[in-house]
């Protein structure tokens, strides 16, 4: 998807910069901003949810009260989750993309 | 002042009349922070709120910055919002004024014109509203109590018009108009309700079924587009003002238009001046006309948008014009009204001589003799085709 | 026939000068006149000299400058003599109404009014107001005196306006006291 409105769209931008519907952040892919990618060692993770609280992009995926990974479509690779993961646990690491 | 509700004609101060108009409009929200000389508006209106005469949510805030912030929040929530201020109050609202206009929120504010500090001064001049002239707000100026009252209703309609959607400011002179009792014809509550109608916002933050965002950041790829939209809306406000003013005239018999032209059609020399001092100048026009001098006056009502084509049309036959500003732009080249008028006349092949006069700062009295003095200078320029002094202070 | 007149009220803050100008305007309005009533604000402290003005006309009033040469001057506090320019700008046929226990003749000398065409009137408005309203409110009897010595406004228009316009704001007793004060001001004002 493209982040820039087309020329035709520009003529129909909602007045006053209003974004006239909800959930548009979901459509905006920020994964491409990422240099380092988080990875989690689930054998160490205690599901304390601190990463889920602290992630500025809501990119921690949780299912059935368990942290199961990252939404890499939106994760910008900021590394906050790795820093906030308690020192005694250190379940999250930031790594260069393998590709 | 007691309001004799049974009679059409009564006597009210400018502040009381504005508060009464607000009562009749019955806005949803009024965030207020009183300041001299507009305090009377807030005092009277808060009595209406306390008495249950209106449904308005009156929000008492801790500064004018907060007052305008609350106006913005409430208007984005879909409310019809009004407030009033003066001088430092408007100055403190400054950054929020731009946010109100940029978000296209039709807030209506009464500015009771007062000088800006320093030195501190509570009296009338136009420093406050002229400082906000490029903030994207519609500005309508009022000569009398009656006109200020009438303008408030028209301001609501113009601001909320679908082709406009911009905030509007009604200006009247501090103390001279705000604290003077004058004859006024009040409009019936039902007629006001019918005229202003109900505000139907395109969006509302309180509509949880349709979540929206106000105040998102824009990058260079879109910001200019939003400003272009805003600029076009401001230009459209002129035609809307003409239309609404005509409708007001049909319904209530008082016709205003974009400006007030007084004995101008056959004049050779004229003064251009805003607000209450125009009345005093008209007395001078009458005196000079009795002496056979061809003088006239133009009093702009709509200053933003500035109706440059219409004003050019009204002034083009003159030989000389003095533009009197109750504010100095501190640009060393005359007041803001002078700059607009002179610029508007530039494209004429044969244009009148134009001079700038700054008068009445900080409430300095502007008498009939001062107007006569200004006219004498314009008449001289008309006769000689030469302006001796392009800009100067009078009433010093 | 008076077509356009100007009035200046002199007093001290809290003596009701602004209210007097307002009540006069209302009463004139009731008689179909065009009116202006406006105060001159300076230091807003009790005791500070205060001025208020009226313009009353048969034609719409366009002028919005201060009143500089009033024909009618009402002085609520004689201690202002020598403090502020009570006679400033007044024409030769000016009319002065002064709240004092002294005679008009004495006040003419005190004010320094030399023109034979000018008229000076006095009444003890402070005493009248204490006896009728219960406190010093010289403005009300002075309005009654103004009705007597000028053609600006008839006494019954003043009284009618006060009864109609202030019945919600004040008790019946206060209204009655003020009406008596106006009547006494009308009857007790004396010229030379």
Question: Domain coordinates of chain B in residue numbers?
Answer: 9-252, 259-393
pLDDT for C48 equals 86
| B-C contacts (CB, under 8 Å) | 68
Containing domain of residue A71, as a range? 30-96
Tell me: the pLDDT tens digits for A53-84? Answer: 999 999 999 999 999 999 999 999 999 999 99
- The verdict on A15 touching B (C-beta cutoff 8 Å) is yes
Average pLDDT over residues B121-147: 97
Please report the pLDDT score of residue C40 as a whole number: 86
Domain B259-393 has CATH 2.40.50.140: no
Rounded to 5 degrees, φ, ψ at C151 are: -100, 20
Chains that touch B (3 or more CB pairs under 8 A): A, C
User: CA of A10 to nearest chain B CA: how many angstroms apart?
Assistant: 7
Q: How sure is the predictor about A5, in pLDDT bands with cuts at 50, 70 and 90?
A: low
pLDDT for residue A23 is more than 70? yes
pLDDT band (50, 70, 90) for residue B192: very high
Class level of CATH domain B9-252:
alpha beta
Pairwise CB contact (< 8 Å): B165 & A16 = yes
Question: Over pLDDT 90: what percentage of chain B?
Answer: 97
CA distance linking residue C55 with residue B277, whole number of Å = 16
A22 and B215: CB-CB below 8 Å? no
- Tell me whether chains C and A touch (3+ CB pairs under 8 A): no
Q: For C172, what's the count of Cα atoms within 13 Å in the CB-facing half-sphere?
A: 0
Between residues 205 and 234 of chain B, which touch chain A (CB distance below 8 Å)?
A: 210-216, 218, 221-222, 225-226, 229, 233
Distance from CA of A24 to the nearest CA of B (A): 10
Interface membership of B180 toward C (CB under 8 Å)? yes
Query: What is the pLDDT at residue B5?
Result: 40
Shortest Cα–Cα distance, B365 to chain C (Å): 6
Whether residues A15 and B165 touch (CB distance < 8 A) is answered with yes
Mean pLDDT within C66-72:
95
What pLDDT, on a 0 to 100 scale, did the predictor assign at position B161? 98
Model confidence pTM above 0.90:
yes
Name the packing angle between helices B368-384 and B277-290 (round to 10°).
60
Q: Which residues of A touch B75 (CB under 8 A)?
A: none
**pLDDT score of C47:** 79
**In the predicted model, what is the mean pLDDT of chain A?**
89
Total structural domains in chain C?
1
Q: Say yes or no to pLDDT of A25 above 90.
A: no
Per-residue confidence band for B4, with pLDDT thresholds at 50, 70 and 90: very low
Which residues are bridge partners to B59 per DSSP? B31
Residues, chain C, total?
A: 192
Strand partners of residue B12: B182
Mean of the per-residue pLDDT values of chain C: 92
Confidence of residue C169 (pLDDT cuts 50, 70, 90): confident
Contact A16 B225 (CB under 8 A): no
Chain A nearest-CA distance from B8, in A, is 41
**Which pLDDT belongs to residue B9?**
79
pLDDT greater than 80 at residue B2: no
Reported as a single tens digit per residue, the pLDDT across C92-137 is 999 999 999 999 999 999 999 998 899 999 999 999 999 999 999 9
What's the total number of domains in chain A? Answer: 1
Q: DSSP readout, B270-285?
A: EEEE-TTHHHHHHHHH
Among C17, C23, C16, residue whose Cα is nearest residue C165 = C23
ipTM associated with this complex: 0.91
Residue A10, pLDDT score: 63
Kindly list the residues from chain C whose CB atom is less than 8 angstroms away from the CB atom of residue B122: 41
Q: Does B163 touch chain C (CB under 8 A)?
A: no
Q: Closest Cα to residue C22, out of B6, B10, B11, B21? A: B11
pLDDT at C41 over 90: no
CATH number at residue A88: 3.30.70.20
> What CA–CA distance (Å, rounded) separates C48 from C46?
6
CA dist B246 and B219 (Å) reads: 41
Q: Could you read off the pLDDT of B291-343 as tens digits, one per residue? A: 999 999 999 999 999 999 999 999 999 999 999 999 999 999 999 999 999 99
- Smallest Cβ–Cβ distance between B203 and the set A4, A13, A18 belongs to A18
CA dist list (Å): B131 to B38, B67, B71, B274: 18, 18, 20, 15
Query: How sure is the predictor about C31, in pLDDT bands with cuts at 50, 70 and 90?
Result: confident
Q: Give the CATH number, domain containing residue C41.
A: 3.40.920.10
- How close C38 gets to chain B, by Cα (Å)? 4
Tell me the per-residue pLDDT of B147-162, one tens digit each, with 9 for 90 and over: 999 999 999 999 999 9
Find the residue in C nearest to B123 (Cα).
C41
Q: What digits encode the pLDDT tens for the residues B342-383?
A: 999 999 999 999 999 999 999 999 999 999 999 999 999 999
Residue B72 pLDDT class (50, 70, 90 cuts): very high
Buried b (16+ CB within 10 A) or exposed e, B29-64: bbbbbbbbbbbbbbebbbebbeeeebebebbebeeb
Do the Cβ atoms of B259 and B341 come closer than 8 Å? no
Element spanning B85, H or E: strand B82-85
Element of type H or E holding C94: none
CB contact under 8 A, A18 and B211: no
**Per residue in C132-151, pLDDT tens?**
999 999 999 999 999 999 98
Chain A residues whose beta carbon lies within 8 Å of the beta carbon of residue B213: 18-19, 22, 24
Could you list the residue range(s) of the whole structural domain that residue C113 is in? 4-188
| CA closest to B76 among chain A residues | A18
What's the burial of B93, exposed, middle or buried (CB within 10 Å: 0-12/13-18/19+)?
buried
Mean pLDDT over B165-177 rounds to 98
């Amino acid at each position: 998807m493209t982040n820039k409105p087309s020329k035709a769209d520009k003529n129909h931008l909602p007045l006053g910069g209003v974004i006239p519907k909800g959930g548009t952040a979901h459509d905006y892919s920020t994964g491409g901003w990422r240099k380092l990618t988080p990875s989690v060692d689930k054998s160490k993770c205690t599901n304390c949810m601190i990463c889920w609280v602290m992630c500025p992009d809501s990119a921690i995926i949780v299912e059935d009260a368990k942290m199961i990974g990252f939404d890499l479509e939106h994760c910008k690779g900021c590394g906050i989750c790795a820093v906030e993961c308690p020192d005694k646990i250190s379940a999250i690491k930031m790594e260069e993309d393998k590709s | 002042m007691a309001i004799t509700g049974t009679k059409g004609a009564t006597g009210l101060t400018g502040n009381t009349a504005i508060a009464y108009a607000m009562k009749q409009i019955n806005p949803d929200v009024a965030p207020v922070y009183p300041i001299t000389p507009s305090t009377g508006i807030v005092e009277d209106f808060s009595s209406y709120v306390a008495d249950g005469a209106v449904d308005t949510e009156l929000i008492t805030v801790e500064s004018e910055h907060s007052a305008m912030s609350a106006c913005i929040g409430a208007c984005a929530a879909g409310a019809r919002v009004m407030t009033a201020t003066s001088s430092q109050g408007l100055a403190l609202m400054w950054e929020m004024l731009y946010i109100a206009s940029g978000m296209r929120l039709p807030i209506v504010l009464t500015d009771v014109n007062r000088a800006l500090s320093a030195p501190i001064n509570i009296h009338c001049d136009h420093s406050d509203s002229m400082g906000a002239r490029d903030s994207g707000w519609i500005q309508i100026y009022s000569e009398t109590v009656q006109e200020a009252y009438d303008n408030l209703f028209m301001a609501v309609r113009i601001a909320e018009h679908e082709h406009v959607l911009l905030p509007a400011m009604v200006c009247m002179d501090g103390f001279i108009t705000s604290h003077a009792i004058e004859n006024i014809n009040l409009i019936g509550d039902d007629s006001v309700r019918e005229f202003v109608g109900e505000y139907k916002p395109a969006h509302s933050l309180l509509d949880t079924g349709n979540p929206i965002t106000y105040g998102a950041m824009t990058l260079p790829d879109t910001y200019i587009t939003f400003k272009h939209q805003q600029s076009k809306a401001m230009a459209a406000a002129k035609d809307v003002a003409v239309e609404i003013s005509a409708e007001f005239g049909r319904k209530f018999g008082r016709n205003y238009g974009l400006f007030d032209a007084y004995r101008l059609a056959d004049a050779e020399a004229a003064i251009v001046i805003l607000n209450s001092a125009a009345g005093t100048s008209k007395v001078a026009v009458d005196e000079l006309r009795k002496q056979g001098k061809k003088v006239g006056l133009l009093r702009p009502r709509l200053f933003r948008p500035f109706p440059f084509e219409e004003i050019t049309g009204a002034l083009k036959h003159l030989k000389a014009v003095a533009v009197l500003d109750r504010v100095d732009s501190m640009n060393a080249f005359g007041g803001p009204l002078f700059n607009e008028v002179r610029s508007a006349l530039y494209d004429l092949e044969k244009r009148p001589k134009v001079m700038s006069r700054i008068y009445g700062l900080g409430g300095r009295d502007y008498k009939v003799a001062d107007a006569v003095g200004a006219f004498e200078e314009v008449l001289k320029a008309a006769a000689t085709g030469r302006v001796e002094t392009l800009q100067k202070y009078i009433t010093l | 026939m008076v077509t356009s007149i100007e009035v200046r009220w002199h007093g001290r803050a809290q003596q009701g000068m602004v209210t007097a100008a307002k009540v006069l305007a209302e009463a004139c309005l009731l008689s179909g006149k065009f009116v202006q009533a406006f105060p001159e604000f300076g230091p807003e402290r009790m005791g500070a000299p205060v001025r208020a003005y009226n313009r009353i006309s048969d034609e719409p009033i366009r002028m919005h400058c201060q009143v500089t040469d009033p024909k009618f001057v009402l002085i609520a506090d004689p201690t202002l003599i020598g403090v502020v320019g009570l006679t400033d700008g007044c024409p030769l046929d000016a009319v002065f109404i002064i709240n004092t226990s002294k005679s008009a003749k004495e006040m003419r000398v005190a004010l320094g009014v030399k023109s034979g065409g000018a008229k000076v009137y006095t009444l003890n408005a402070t005493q009248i107001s204490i006896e009728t309203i219960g406190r010093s409110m010289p403005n009300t009897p002075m309005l009654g005196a103004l009705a007597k010595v000028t053609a600006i406004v008839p006494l019954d228009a003043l009284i009618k306006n006060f009864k109609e316009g202030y019945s919600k704001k004040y008790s019946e007793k206060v209204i009655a006291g003020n009406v008596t004060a106006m009547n006494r001001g009308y009857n007790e004002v004396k010229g030379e």
